A and B are shown apart, each in its own frame.
Chain A
């Protein structure tokens, strides 16, 4: 048997050519030459100077940390000339030391004429045997990439959203009931959370190894950024760059691949990395600012995003609290003008967002350079009160660094900068304390940025403002204010009473005036529709209240458009459209079209009734799913419309025509849906009945085989009618009749 096996084995051996496998798994024997380096550029000398030279060389090597003895050096001789050959061999004892010495001494200027050039001995052989013939590199076949914005071309104009539940990540289409479907689903697609890029082009997922971006209709991987243990990510507004942060400082292990996509030893110890998305290259890394600052008050929480982008992706800035704002230019990531903006005591800053108009201006060819002056980037920062100096909010231009406007403030505890999303207004929410520092009240300093000299207007409030929100593209804002004594000490079961106020720019007087205040609410969150006008007030994070209120601020608009300048009563257009309740809601988000609102209860916050719901703008529930271990819901953002103003106006004008077509579609759809549902039910019913028939047959057979009688076969139970006669003696009177 053994011999038989042996022969057959041999015959196979003969037939097969193992050379490729052998070559692949060949073990490189340690030839011992790894510890030897070749030093070129050594002066050519004769015998008499040998000792002196060797002493000098070993000294120079030792000074750089590569300790060698004179015995380790071998000097080849040209015996005919009686001189050295100008290169030497040095044995460092082990390969690591050799590698170190090669790195440390390569290019070392030995003297004015001689510079050391060092190679590993083994490398010399390796490079010498390189195939010198040029081989034309095979041209890879061109594979067209998928269009990253393909979802916008959806024939039904649907939006997408992503849900993350348990380990499952799903991307859904959201449309009419029949058009809702899963676009793509994948298990373990992310290890932490998922995120969209700001224009919706990329889908980012986080893994232990780093960030991955996905995109296109088939969700192929697009880019990867190897930042181990990444926790936070942030995209630049135009999606050109991405910033990643990990709590663990970057460490560069010896085996890490090298290249522009990877960290190099200089990045060691940093936490923040900036990457270019298109190339995947690492641009620069930073340490977390809080670590530099020894002040414990500053350490409490890291700000995120740590790097703030100007909205045209040209600059990115970060603040070193109390010292300066450093602005870096893209794409080089060099410090702009080679110096930071030194601002004593600076706490926080914000870039001015670019409005749609600014973007259009920027896209226009530079034809009328003088006429349409392009708006520079602007940024606002604030500094707190120090000694005798008042607190101050400053608005500056960038890159010219000219101060546009400054405003001094007193008794300031805290400032928050809120830009309106078109960059028309800046509101500085100033929390001020009274002289006794016992109570806090709030001022809103509103900068009208588009006007000459940047006029500032102050809205004084008596209460603490907990939330502030500009209407997107609008001239209104909403605030949540509260004078509840429980404010600031949250506890279980405590729901803070709040007031919601709406303000609007009064065109005639050119200042902000109160539209309306809704008192005694519990709402603590304002969510404006991305198109403005509609707003949702929500009570988030409370264990007892979870109300959603849907408001329309221009309820009478229709009439106004027709009747033109009808002087309507101030604030009369505000109308509540509906209210709803989503128990345990933790997140509230409008879809990018402003037609739908999604609310979700995430398992990251609590474990009661996790899931999500989708409402229309009036507060009608469209969909509600309660899902265990539900974590995240995000709408896919949309980029700016490509239609020109004129085209948009045309569409608005012909809205009636379009809507007729849509209505027809809806009607057809509805009948279709019910037909489908009925068919589905019919199928279920038929399946069930067929199965029941089978079951009955089986049981009958079984019983028959056991000789039992088939009970239950029409022993229709005769109903027993029980008639109960109840005699109740109410009174018994005995009468004696006397005759």
Chain B
């Protein structure tokens, strides 16, 4: 499995995302740039220029028409995927840490940082998808602040107006965005910051990663922890592989400690775990810094990882990956 190395960022990656067809790969980084690549050969299609600070987060809608991005310059931007034009800019008092589309593409949720006397705020915008997309309402449809620990990651569930959030304290919660109330929570889902949250295709379960060195699969409806994958390094990202029963996790020694630890200790590897048996099945190394973000192709044919080292590595799975059955013939529901 020879990876394609995408060298388009000068600083560490913050998030990468495939579009719903999987032909495009979006990436954002601390160097203020958003790139879009062809996932099959690693050719760069273009950039989305305009942000003036670390771009923390991106998400594309299911039709690959719109892209939203959140940045440390306190802006949330809406882009036209196909020509790279910025369609709309929302500005907030603090940095935008996470954005996500709803499953019907109608809404966008965003989390802003808790800083300088401002609380962590979760806002939901209703997009106007008619026309060219430049006429949007400045005011959010809903907004609220979670009480207690600030939210770090979020995503829409399959139920409208219900979002899942992961918090700094390790809490996982379900919020009703209309009322702003916490519907359900699991205070002890993790012991440390939740660093990533990715949903299954039908949004009925999701995987979270945390600095507490574990990744976990939760039931969206009950927030019950279904599976735990315990590693020996803090984790920055976890993703679910479609069509194969694997969870991909990545992380590594804290970025600030990297200079004092060797490559060997850093554990800058993507690990594959069997999501049902909770057993590690394989590792892919290559990055020479912690892995910050992992994304898997929606068809499960390839995956990409973005690291603190500024590189994206796109791996197309070998034929053997689809052929081997390490646990024999299993009838596993996806």
Hey, which bits of chain A sit against chain B, CB under 8 A? Answer: 544, 583, 608-609, 611, 626, 628, 681, 684-685, 688-689, 691-693, 695-696, 698-699, 702-703, 706, 712
Distance (whole angstroms) from the CB of B334 to the closest CB of chain A: 7
Residue in chain A with minimal CB distance to B262: A544
Q: Known: A689-B332, A706-B160. Is A609-B265 also a contact (CB below 8 A)?
A: yes
Decide: B333 and A688 in contact? CB cutoff 8 A: yes
Decide: A626 and B202 in contact? CB cutoff 8 A: no
Decide: B276 and A712 in contact? CB cutoff 8 A: no
Is B1 interfacial (CB-CB < 8 Å)?
no
Is B91 interfacial (CB-CB < 8 Å)?
no
Provide the B257-289 mask, 1 if CB < 8 A to any CB of A, else 0.
Answer: 000011011000000000011000000000000
Q: Which 4 A/B pairs are nearest by Cβ-Cβ distance?
A: A692-B333, A695-B204, A626-B232, A688-B276
* Residues of chain B with a CB closer than 8 A to A689's CB: 331-333
Decide: B334 and A692 in contact? CB cutoff 8 A: yes
Decide: B333 and A693 in contact? CB cutoff 8 A: yes
Give Cα A609–Cα B267 distance, bound, in whole angstroms. Answer: 11
Decide: A685 and B205 in contact? CB cutoff 8 A: no
Give Cα A706–Cα B158 distance, bound, in whole angstroms. Answer: 11
Select one of B158, B333, B334 contacting A699, CB under 8 A: B158
Residue in chain B with minimal CB distance to A611: B232
Decide: A695 and B205 in contact? CB cutoff 8 A: yes
Distance (whole angstroms) from the CB of A397 to the closest CB of chain B: 54
Decide: B277 and A681 in contact? CB cutoff 8 A: yes
* Residues of chain B with a CB closer than 8 A to A688's CB: 276, 332-333
Is B211 interfacial (CB-CB < 8 Å)?
no
Residue in chain A with minimal CB distance to B330: A685
19 contacts between A and B (CB under 8 A): A626-B232, A681-B327, A685-B276, A685-B330, A688-B332, A688-B333, A689-B331, A689-B332, A692-B333, A692-B334, A693-B333, A698-B221, A699-B158, A699-B202, A699-B203, A702-B158, A703-B158, A706-B160, A712-B202
Give Cα A628–Cα B201 distance, bound, in whole angstroms. Answer: 34
* Residues of chain A with a CB closer than 8 A to B219's CB: 691, 695
Is B213 interfacial (CB-CB < 8 Å)?
yes
Is B138 interfacial (CB-CB < 8 Å)?
no
Is B159 interfacial (CB-CB < 8 Å)?
yes
* Residues of chain A with a CB closer than 8 A to B201's CB: 712
* Residues of chain A with a CB closer than 8 A to B261's CB: 608
Is B226 interfacial (CB-CB < 8 Å)?
yes
Residue in chain A with minimal CB distance to B299: A717
* Residues of chain B with a CB closer than 8 A to A703's CB: 158
Decide: B265 and A684 in contact? CB cutoff 8 A: no
* Residues of chain A with a CB closer than 8 A to B160's CB: 706
Extra contacts, 10 of them, besides A684-B276, A696-B204 (Cβ < 8 A), are: A609-B265, A685-B276, A685-B332, A688-B333, A691-B219, A692-B204, A692-B334, A695-B219, A698-B204, A699-B202
Decide: A684 and B202 in contact? CB cutoff 8 A: no
Decide: A583 and B265 in contact? CB cutoff 8 A: yes
* Residues of chain B with a CB closer than 8 A to A685's CB: 276, 330-332
Residue in chain A with minimal CB distance to B260: A492
Most B Cβ at <10 Å: residue of A609, A691, A695, A699: A695
Residue in chain B with minimal CB distance to A680: B277
Distance (whole angstroms) from the CB of A558 to the closest CB of chain B: 39
Give Cα A698–Cα B202 distance, bound, in whole angstroms. Answer: 11
Interface residues of B in 296-334 (CB under 8 A from A): 327, 330-334
Give Cα A583–Cα B262 distance, bound, in whole angstroms. Answer: 12
Give Cα A433–Cα B276 distance, bound, in whole angstroms. Answer: 65
Decide: A684 and B277 in contact? CB cutoff 8 A: yes
Distance (whole angstroms) from the CB of A335 to the closest CB of chain B: 55
Hey, which bits of chain B sit against chain A, CB under 8 A? Answer: 158-160, 201-205, 213, 219, 221, 226, 232, 261-262, 264-265, 276-277, 327, 330-334
* Residues of chain B with a CB closer than 8 A to A681's CB: 277, 327
Give Cα A702–Cα B262 distance, bound, in whole angstroms. Answer: 51
Decide: B158 and A583 in contact? CB cutoff 8 A: no
Distance (whole angstroms) from the CB of B86 to the closest CB of chain A: 30
* Residues of chain B with a CB closer than 8 A to A608's CB: 261, 265
* Residues of chain B with a CB closer than 8 A to A696's CB: 202, 204, 333
Residue in chain B with minimal CB distance to A719: B299
Give Cα A699–Cα B159 distance, bound, in whole angstroms. Answer: 9
Distance (whole angstroms) from the CB of B256 to the closest CB of chain A: 15
* Residues of chain A with a CB closer than 8 A to B213's CB: 628
* Residues of chain B with a CB closer than 8 A to A699's CB: 158, 202-204
Give Cα A617–Cα B232 distance, bound, in whole angstroms. Answer: 27
Distance (whole angstroms) from the CB of A606 to the closest CB of chain B: 11
Give Cα A386–Cα B261 distance, bound, in whole angstroms. Answer: 49
Give Cα A703–Cα B201 distance, bound, in whole angstroms. Answer: 15
Decide: B159 and A702 in contact? CB cutoff 8 A: yes
Select one of B202, B232, B331, B332 contacting A695, CB under 8 A: B202
Residue in chain B with minimal CB distance to A544: B262
* Residues of chain B with a CB closer than 8 A to A609's CB: 232, 265
Distance (whole angstroms) from the CB of B282 to the closest CB of chain A: 17
* Residues of chain A with a CB closer than 8 A to B204's CB: 692, 695-696, 698-699
Residue in chain A with minimal CB distance to B213: A628
Distance (whole angstroms) from the CB of A432 to the closest CB of chain B: 39
Give Cα A712–Cα B213 distance, bound, in whole angstroms. Answer: 34
Distance (whole angstroms) from the CB of B162 to the closest CB of chain A: 11
* Residues of chain A with a CB closer than 8 A to B327's CB: 681
Give Cα A544–Cα B260 distance, bound, in whole angstroms. Answer: 12
Give Cα A581–Cα B314 distance, bound, in whole angstroms. Answer: 32
* Residues of chain B with a CB closer than 8 A to A693's CB: 333
Distance (whole angstroms) from the CB of B228 to the closest CB of chain A: 13
Give Cα A693–Cα B213 distance, bound, in whole angstroms. Answer: 30
Distance (whole angstroms) from the CB of B71 to the closest CB of chain A: 32
Residue in chain A with minimal CB distance to B332: A685
Give Cα A609–Cα B232 distance, bound, in whole angstroms. Answer: 7
Q: Known: A608-B265, A681-B327. Is A691-B277 also a contact (CB below 8 A)?
A: no
Distance (whole angstroms) from the CB of B215 to the closest CB of chain A: 15
Most A Cβ at <10 Å: residue of B201, B204, B330: B204
Distance (whole angstroms) from the CB of A569 to the closest CB of chain B: 40
* Residues of chain B with a CB closer than 8 A to A692's CB: 204, 333-334
Give Cα A611–Cα B232 distance, bound, in whole angstroms. Answer: 10
* Residues of chain A with a CB closer than 8 A to B203's CB: 699
Residue in chain A with minimal CB distance to B275: A688
Distance (whole angstroms) from the CB of B70 to the closest CB of chain A: 28
Residue in chain B with minimal CB distance to A711: B103
Distance (whole angstroms) from the CB of A601 to the closest CB of chain B: 11
Distance (whole angstroms) from the CB of A686 to the closest CB of chain B: 10
* Residues of chain A with a CB closer than 8 A to B232's CB: 609, 611, 626, 628
Give Cα A609–Cα B231 distance, bound, in whole angstroms. Answer: 10
Residue in chain A with minimal CB distance to B159: A702
Give Cα A695–Cα B206 distance, bound, in whole angstroms. Answer: 13
Decide: A691 and B265 in contact? CB cutoff 8 A: no
Give Cα A378–Cα B136 distance, bound, in whole angstroms. Answer: 95
Give Cα A470–Cα B229 distance, bound, in whole angstroms. Answer: 45
* Residues of chain B with a CB closer than 8 A to A695's CB: 202, 204-205, 219, 221
Give Cα A685–Cα B277 distance, bound, in whole angstroms. Answer: 8
Residue in chain B with minimal CB distance to A693: B333
* Residues of chain A with a CB closer than 8 A to B330's CB: 685
Distance (whole angstroms) from the CB of A603 to the closest CB of chain B: 13
Give Cα A684–Cα B332 distance, bound, in whole angstroms. Answer: 10
Distance (whole angstroms) from the CB of B237 to the closest CB of chain A: 20
Give Cα A609–Cα B213 distance, bound, in whole angstroms. Answer: 12
Distance (whole angstroms) from the CB of B102 to the closest CB of chain A: 13
Distance (whole angstroms) from the CB of B160 to the closest CB of chain A: 7
* Residues of chain B with a CB closer than 8 A to A698's CB: 204, 221
Residue in chain B with minimal CB distance to A581: B264
Most A Cβ at <10 Å: residue of B203, B226, B265, B331: B265
Residue in chain A with minimal CB distance to B267: A609
Give Cα A326–Cα B201 distance, bound, in whole angstroms. Answer: 78
* Residues of chain A with a CB closer than 8 A to B334's CB: 692
Residue in chain B with minimal CB distance to A684: B276
Give Cα A702–Cα B158 distance, bound, in whole angstroms. Answer: 9
Give Cα A611–Cα B233 distance, bound, in whole angstroms. Answer: 13
Give Cα A219–Cα B265 distance, bound, in whole angstroms. Answer: 39
